[in-house]
């Protein structure tokens, strides 16, 4: 896998360019994030397409490999990223830091893509649920230590 080309495709992702990013995936690839697990390029493409339908101006920034230099024979790549979005055009922009573990097949295509990020950050931006999440974070974050 050419990580530089993957970075470029991820950072320039738009509704029109989803197909370019999908070319990095194997036909039967599995994609998992805190909300879903899907299998196959078409299902993964739908995840990215739906992202543009449900969020205002989503984009990935600072996509970069984590760890040491990659060999051409690497079978696992961990990529860090920042995801910026708003829930609607009139809501404040959010930024979530996360990483993706990409497991590659023998052809260097992504066979399994697992995203790791704090989903409570999305919930925190919602009107009613956000207040509960913020309260819970404050309560847990300030609990007495034994």
Q: Which domains does the chain have, with CATH numbers?
A: 3-117 (3.10.450.50)
Residue 70 has pLDDT above 70, yes or no: no
Tell me how far apart the alpha carbons of residues 46 and 58 are, in angstroms, rounded to a whole number: 15
Tokens of 26: 């194997």
The pLDDT assigned to 122 comes to: 62
Q: Is 97 helix (H, G, I), strand (E, B) or coil?
A: strand
The pLDDT assigned to 91 comes to: 87
Q: What is the pLDDT of residues 15-62, one digit of tens each?
A: 999 999 999 999 999 999 998 999 999 999 999 999 999 999 999 999
The pLDDT assigned to 85 comes to: 92
State the pTM of this model.
0.81
Tell me how far apart the alpha carbons of residues 23 and 71 are, in angstroms, rounded to a whole number: 21
The confidence band for 87, taking pLDDT boundaries of 50, 70 and 90, is confident
Tell me how far apart the alpha carbons of residues 89 and 12 are, in angstroms, rounded to a whole number: 20
């Amino acid at each position: 896998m050419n990580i530089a080309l993957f970075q470029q495709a991820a950072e320039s992702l738009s509704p029109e360019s989803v197909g370019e990013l999908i070319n990095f995936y194997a036909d039967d690839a599995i994609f998992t994030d805190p909300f879903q697990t899907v299998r196959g390029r078409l299902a993964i493409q739908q995840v990215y397409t739906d992202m543009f339908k449900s969020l205002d101006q989503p984009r990935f920034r600072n996509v970069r490999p984590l760890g040491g230099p990659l060999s051409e024979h690497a079978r696992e790549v961990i990529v860090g990223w920042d995801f910026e979005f708003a829930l609607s055009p009139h809501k404040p922009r959010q930024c979530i830091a996360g990483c993706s573990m990409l497991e590659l097949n023998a052809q260097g295509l992504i066979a399994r893509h697992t995203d790791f990020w704090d989903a409570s950050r999305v919930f925190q931006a919602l009107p009613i649920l956000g207040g509960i999440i913020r309260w819970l974070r404050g309560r847990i974050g300030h609990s007495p230590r034994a």
